[in-house]
Amino acid sequence: MKPNELNIRNKRARFEYHLLDEYTAGMQLSGTEVKSIRSGKASILEAYCIMHNGEVWIRNMHISEYSNASFYTHKPRSDRKLLLSKKEIVRIEKFLQVKGNTLIPLKMYISEKGWVKIDIACAQGKKLHDKRHDMKERDDRREMDRAMKK
């Protein structure tokens, strides 16, 4: 499989949050989880990250059970450990201590070496008027593109 052929994205993240810092993390997975991800049967739309005992975990990420697996299968929505450096973990921990800040996944892909990687971002939730402003800008860009085509 070619690298970056996998296209699992959190499309709502940029609309719902102001993204501040982005990190790339590895994930601790079992064999059947990796096979399901490689076949594209995973979702990070409802996922978020938490800090627990000095480690970063991703919660509520759905990885479907591998169809050809025997009785050694994984749970589809179990917590999975993210692999980051100590410096990044300390930076994230300080960021999450402020109320209203969160850590969300943006994209999951397969690296050049064949490892499953996930891009996560430190984010703050947008207010309703910020979302309206983004929608207005997007509509204006579309209309300008249509006018340029004609």
Show me where the domains of the chain are located: 8-149
What Cα–Cα distance (Å) separates residue 38 from each residue in 30, 32, 53, 101, 111?
Answer: 13, 10, 30, 31, 12
**Average pLDDT value over all residues in the chain:** 88
| pLDDT band for position 4 (cuts 50, 70, 90) | low
- Mean pLDDT value across residues 89-100: 92
For 118-135, write each residue's pLDDT tens digit.
999 999 988 888 888 888
Amino acid at 82: L
Give me the pLDDT at residue 2, please.
Answer: 55
Q: Rounded to two decimals, what is the model's pTM? A: 0.80
Domain 8-149 adopts which CATH fold? Small Protein B; Chain: A; (2.40.280)
Q: Please determine, for residue 29, whether its predicted confidence score (pLDDT) is greater than 80.
A: yes
Give me the pLDDT at residue 1, please.
Answer: 46
